[in-house]
Chain A
Amino acid sequence: MLVEESIRSAISSIKTNGVRSFLTALAIIIGTAAVISVIGIGSSAEKALEASIDDLGPRTLSIFPSQRKRGGIASGFNPLVIKDAEALAKNNEHNWLIAPAMSGNRQIKYKNSNMNGEINGYLPVNFEVRGFDIGSGRLFTEKENLGRKRVIILGSKVPGELKTSAREILNKDILIAGTSYTVIGVLKEEGSTGWQNPDDDLYVPLLTAAQRIFGTDRLGWINVGISNDTNVDYVMMTIEQILRQKHDIGPGGENDFRINDWSQFSDLRRQATGIFTALIAGIAGISLIVGGIGVMNIMLVSVTERTREIGLRKALGATQKSIMMQFIIEAVLLCILGGLLGIFIGVSLLYLFTSLNDWIFYMPLSAVFGSITFCALVGLFFGIWPAKRAAKLDPAVSLRYE
């Protein structure tokens, strides 16, 4: 019953001095809101990253062209070409999917609508590697690729951009630089991966793109889809071997391409995000400590104001322990209430931020419970000294305190 009495007394004290309690808890509220929203944004970013990695299919390596160096000096640019991809595809030592691609922006016209869109030259296998699914219509075939057919697949948002709908534009022609292409399919919505949005893009067969649109056999990149149990180092070695041979790089010469392992990249990015989140959350956490000092200050004032009450409680039989408990509970309660309000504000900010930026809303519960616990600890730590002062008051003197 004593604990109940302490809690009731704490609530009524906080309520009676409502404005003062609020101002005291303000630093705690702001601190918790900051910690919660920062951790939330960090976690949501990580979720978005994970989702985009998942979008790349089971596991994907990407090969990009890069500067060729001889003796440390850049000596021109050796592109990746379709033949390189073919050489890789010919290798049957690995069970991999070779997905070469090229891309560029072109003006697109349908009826009276115009848009500037990113056109990708893809093989049918590219869709598999990226995990894209067809929403309506169909994918193009290897035969259409080899025949350089003028067929095109649209990202899910493209029909809207062209002021029409997927159903309406299917099997119609659109114009790219004056040449007509037949829309044979529209993709399902894939969602942004963070650095590109496949829903805004258009996809034509690779050879069609090479010959009819871009007029080059230079590739933008080659994605290599591998299963999760593949020995990545070995795969990378094989790629290197084949491409060095194709590019005629002698022993000691540097690669004129680079291979990205996205999962490694995502690990790095996750680490960086984690460090950054921890740093900002830590700085915000300092404001909780500052808030704790404010709570201590107001608790000291409260002890002085309530000297007579403390004297009376001691006269009626309150021990030092029970007086201490009463004031510690008050400090802890003040901090927890501040923390709860801060969490509410922090989560609201996170919700606002994620919905404005089209992110996944994700708030780890551990952060919520963690910050409440931290607030309670702040209250406990900074409540002890004032509570001790209250407990040590001389009942005979404090009863007559004016």
Chain B
Amino acid sequence: MIIKTEALTKHYQVGSEKVEALKGITFSVERGEFISIMGPSGSGKTTLMNIIGCLDTPTNGTYFLNNKPVSELTDDELAHIRNDEIGFVFQSFHLLARNSALENVMLPLKYAGENKKNAIIRSNEALDKVGLSDRSSHSPSELSGGQQQRVAIARALVNKPSILFADEPTGNLDSKTGEDVMNLFKELNDNGQTIILITHEDSIAQQSKRIITIMDGLIKSDIKE
């Protein structure tokens, strides 16, 4: 089991008001799954992704990633886990504008302490995997939206993560390139990559193999194909 959560809760203090973003989430993910987490805005799906993506810690509850308890780790320990185990793909790509595609893909390897030679080899492999080996020296502004998102996917894959998180990955793309990106995800999943997709679009969610719907901080439904 890659992910196992037990009664995850998350409380925020907004001014004098206490917001319960998650009210007790229990679920697990097996290796090789392709999951969509759905829900309207304000449902808590982003908070859930932050916690299982190790960007945030839960208020209560336990979370095991690869059988390691991560709910009470320090900031830097979480950073190492994010570097090792998790690859992120964001709606707005989040590429560094002043760096080339290759340098963007290399970034996680730099934080992993990989030497430069290996980092370049591995980054080129990752770019090859998303079909952009001929664009490695281009800067993000010289690439189309779909190409930028594929660079971001290469960056997410370069450290061979246990899980690939994608937060609305097609949100900034037209339907044709969005479809290309989804096809890439399916292909990666067919090769064994575990993928968790956060989306509010039904048509996107339908392409995954399991759909978890979140509503008001709780799991409303968990449907496997």
Q: Which of chain A's residues has its CB closest to B114's CB?
A: A1
Q: Considering the chains assembled together, what is the distance between the CA atoms of A316 and B116 in angstroms?
A: 17
Contact present for B98 and A316 (CB under 8 Å):
no
Q: Is the CB of B94 within 8 A of A321?
A: no
| Contact of A322 with B56 in the complex, beta carbons under 8 Å | no
Which residues of chain A have C-beta atoms less than 8 A from B155's C-beta?
A: 316
Residue B115 at the chain A interface, CB threshold 8 Å: yes
Identify the 8 closest CB pairs spanning chains A and B, nearest first: A317-B83, A317-B111, A396-B55, A396-B50, A396-B56, A319-B76, A316-B108, A319-B79
Complex CA–CA separation, A178 to B94 (angstroms): 95
Bitwise, B60-103 to A at CB < 8 A (1) or not (0) is: 00000000000000011001101110001010001010100000
Is the beta-carbon distance between B56 and A317 smaller than 8 angstroms? Answer: no
- Residues in B with CB closer than 8 Å to A320 are 75-76, 79
In the complex, chain B residues whose CB is within 8 Å of the CB of A394:
56
Chain A residues within an 8 Å CB radius of B114: 1
On chain A, the residues within 8 Å of B90 by CB distance are 312, 399
> Chain B nearest CB: distance from A373 CB in Å?
29
Set of chain A residues within 8 Å of B98, measured between Cβ atoms: 12, 16
B113 within 8 A of A: yes
Contacts of B50 in A (CB 8 A): 396
Contact indicator per residue, chain A 371-402, by CB within 8 Å of chain B (1) or not (0) = 00000000000000000000000111001000
Q: A313 contacts the other chain (Cβ, under 8 Å)?
A: yes
- Asked if residues B116 and A315 are in contact (CB atoms below 8 Å), the reply is no
- A399 touches which of B55, B75, B84 (Cβ 8 Å): B55
- Cα separation A312 to B110 with both chains bound (whole Å): 14
**Is A199 on the interface with B (CB-CB < 8 A)?**
no
Q: Are B55 and A317 in contact (CB under 8 A)?
A: no
Interface presence of A318 (CB below 8 A):
yes
| Chain B residues near A (Cβ < 8 Å) | 50, 53, 55-56, 75-76, 79-80, 82-84, 88, 90, 94, 96, 98, 107-108, 110-116, 119, 155, 159
Our pick among B82, B88, B110 for the contact of A2 (Cβ within 8 Å) is B110
State A316–B119 Cα separation when bound (angstroms).
15
Give the A-B contact count at a CB cut-off of 8 A: 65
Complex alpha-carbon distance, A396 and B48, angstroms: 11
| Cα–Cα distance between A321 and B77 once the two chains are bound (Å) | 12
CA distance A321 to B56 in the complex (A): 18
Query: Which residues of A from 3 to 61 have beta carbons under 8 Å from B?
Result: 4-5, 12, 16
Please state if B55 and A395 are interface contacts (CB–CB under 8 Å): yes
Report whether A314 and B79 are in contact in the complex, using a CB–CB cutoff of 8 Å: yes
| Given known A-B contacts A315-B55, A316-B155, A317-B84, A5 and B76 have beta carbons under 8 A apart | no
Q: Which residues of B contact A395 (CB under 8 A)?
A: 55-56
Q: A315-B55, A317-B108, A399-B90 are in contact. List 9 more A-B contacts (CB 8 A).
A: A1-B116, A16-B98, A312-B96, A315-B88, A317-B84, A317-B112, A318-B111, A319-B80, A396-B50
Output the least CB separation between A80 and chain B (Å): 79
Q: Which A201-257 residues have a C-beta within 8 angstroms of B?
A: none
Q: Tell me the A residues contacting B by CB distance below 8 Å.
A: 1-2, 4-5, 12, 16, 308-309, 312-322, 394-396, 399
- CB of A321 within 8 A of CB of B76, answer yes
Say whether A317 contacts B94, CB under 8 Å: no
State how many angstroms separate the Cβ of A6 from the closest Cβ of chain B: 9
How near does chain B come to A323, taking the closest CB pair, in angstroms?
A: 9
Please list 21 pairs of residues, one from A and one from B, whose beta carbons are closer than 8 Å in the complex, sorted by A's number: A1-B114, A1-B115, A2-B113, A5-B110, A309-B96, A312-B94, A313-B111, A315-B53, A315-B82, A316-B82, A316-B108, A317-B80, A317-B83, A317-B111, A318-B111, A319-B76, A319-B80, A322-B111, A395-B55, A396-B56, A399-B90
A321 CA / B116 CA spacing, docked (Å) = 20
B76 touches A1 (CB 8 A): no
Q: Is the CB of A1 within 8 A of B79?
A: no
Partner of B111, one of A2, A308, A309, A396: A2
A1 and B83 in contact (CB under 8 A), knowing A12-B98, A309-B96, A322-B111? no
**C-alpha gap A399/B92 in the complex (Å):** 10
Complexed CA–CA distance, A164 and B98 (Å): 69
Q: How many Å from the CB of A193 to the closest CB on chain B?
A: 59
B58 shortest CB reach to chain A, Å = 12
Given known A2-B110, A2-B111, A394-B56, contact A399–B83 (CB-CB < 8 A): no
- Return the chain B residue nearest A4 by Cβ: B116
Q: Which residue of B lies closest to A398 (CB)?
A: B55
Point out the residue from B53, B55, B113, B159 that lies within 8 Å of A1, measured CB to CB: B113
Nearest-CB distance from A91 to chain B (Å)?
Answer: 81
Measured between beta carbons, the chain B residues less than 8 angstroms from A396 are: 50, 55-56
**A144 → chain B, closest Cβ, in Å?**
83
Q: Provide the residues of chain B in CB contact with A309, threshold 8 Å.
A: 96
Question: Bound state CA distance, A258 and B111, in angstroms?
Answer: 76
Taking CB as reference atom, which chain A residue is nearest B87? A316
Task: For residue A207, give the distance in angstroms from its CB to the closest CB of chain B.
Answer: 84
Name the distance in Å between A314's Cβ and chain B's nearest Cβ: 6
Nearest Cβ on chain A to B94's Cβ, whole angstroms: 5
A5–B159 alpha-carbon span in the complex (Å)? 18
Decide if A308 touches B116 in the complex (CB within 8 Å): no
Residues of A within 8 A of B53 (CB): 315
Q: Once bound together, how far apart are the Cα atoms of A4 and B117, in whole Å?
A: 14
How far, in angstroms, from A309 to B94 measured CA to CA in the complex?
8
Bound-state CA distance A29–B218 (Å) is 59
Contacts of A314 in B (CB 8 A): 55, 79, 82
Chain A residues near B115: list those with CB within 8 A.
1
